[in-house]
Amino acid sequence: MKKIFLATGNKGKIAEISAILGNKGIFIETCLDRPDMPAAREDGLTVKENSLKKAMACALYFKEPAIADDTGLEVEALNGAPGVYSARWAGEGCSYEDNNRKLLSALNGIEMKNRKARFVCCITLAYPDGKAFFFEGFADGLIAEKPAGQSGFGYDPLFYCPQYGLTYAQMPAELKNRISHRAKAVASFAAYAEKSGI
């Protein structure tokens, strides 16, 4: 089994990415396994920039290839917000519930058909020599009028997929890990890893 470092301490991301890559024969180590890893400053203007910052910081620190995920929720009625600020939209140190409440408040009075949204995920593979490769995934949906479901994390209770009649938080993990923005990005990385032999 191959091994690669994933630059995150987010337990939700770790669970999803581990499940997807484990089926491809790739084992991950994370910041939970290596707490000596210094945190990268996520001040990029796009999820791609932040993903690169995190992956490259780890690759340089450990002197081995590393990957990082950065994700944003883009809501059409909010001109693409919260976007790159999704994780901290309600303020530094905010909870998932804080972000969800702010999103519902911002969309108050907007009918369901006009609550279109898109999740964007970028997985970056970085090497100590400075090379980097990017793998992106996208998922379209709607923002529900109230939270539904107990699974997942982040905006999952509000991200509604009409074709399944479920929010991400209502989906079995197996389904979400097949259709989500993150699943698509991770699958692209896994295909590259298999082809390149990293």
Distance (Å, whole) CA 80 – CA 83 = 6
Distance (Å, whole) CA 7 – CA 56 = 9
Count of C-beta atoms within a 10 Å radius of residue 64: 14
Q: What would the two tokens of residue 3 be? A: 């091994």
Distance (Å, whole) CA 81 – CA 93 = 18
- Helix 181-196 crosses helix 11-22 at what angle (to 10 degrees)? 50
How big is the CA angle at 192 (ends 190 and 193), to the nearest 5 degrees? 60
**What positions carry a catalytic annotation?**
70
**Residues forming a β-bridge with 82:** 74
- Percentage helix, strand, coil for the chain under 3-state DSSP, each rounded to 5: 35, 25, 35
Count of C-beta atoms within a 10 Å radius of residue 191: 12
Distance (Å, whole) CA 55 – CA 159 = 27
